[in-house]
Amino acid sequence: MFGVRAAIRNAAAIRGAATRTGSSAVVGRRFFSDQPEETYEQFTSRYVKFFENIDDQFELQRGLNNCFAYDLVPDVAVCEAALRAARRIDDYATGARVFEALKTKVDKPSQYQDYLKALKPVKDELGIQTKEELGL
């Protein structure tokens, strides 16, 4: 708790000094990466590997949040790996939520239906149902 108070005091002192001197204080800078952008195939490969190595619920949910935060819809292979990870760690609810995330992420209802068709064998194998199939 003491560290938080000190940080708040320091931030207030910096703002106060900037106001008294009439200048603006530089508190932080943001540097952009020199790394080339990741291709869709690299993204898919990275997340498939990530979900194949999941062994707890927190990591699964963190990975799904990160994966669905991008401005794209994850590939069927990524969704399949996430569903398998959910069943492997016995987290049925998160598995069902993968479908909710897909439904929200796609542009058109027909795209969601395409994902459901592509993932049907995995859904049936793992026994995971969508929110609609559960009657919720």
pLDDT in tens, 25-39: 555 555 556 667 889
Q: Which residues of 18-36 are buried (b: 16+ CB within 10 A; e: fewer)?
A: eeeeeeeeeeeeeeeeeee
Residue 74: predicted pLDDT: 95
What are phi and psi for residue 118, nearest 5 degrees? -65, -35
Q: How far is CA 47 from CA 84, 91, 101, in A?
A: 13, 18, 16
The predicted pLDDT at position 85 comes to: 97
Architecture of the structural domain at 40-134: Alpha Horseshoe (1.25)
Q: Which pLDDT belongs to residue 38? A: 85
Q: What is the pLDDT of residues 45-91, one digit of tens each?
A: 999 999 999 999 999 999 999 999 999 999 999 999 999 999 999 99
pLDDT band at residue 1, thresholds of 50, 70 and 90?
very low
- Torsion sign across C-alpha atoms 130, 93, 98, 78: negative
23 or 131, higher pLDDT: 131
Of 26, 23, 109, 14, nearest to 117 by C-alpha is 109
| Model confidence, pTM | 0.72
Residue 99: exposure state from Cβ atoms within 10 A (0-12, 13-18, ≥19): buried
- Spell out the residues 6+ positions from residue 103 whose beta carbon is closer than 8 angstroms to its own: 112
Q: What does the mean pLDDT of the chain come to?
A: 83
The beta-carbon contacts of 101-110 under 8 Å, at least 24 apart in sequence, are 101/64, 101/68, 102/73, 102/74, 105/68, 105/73, 105/74, 106/73
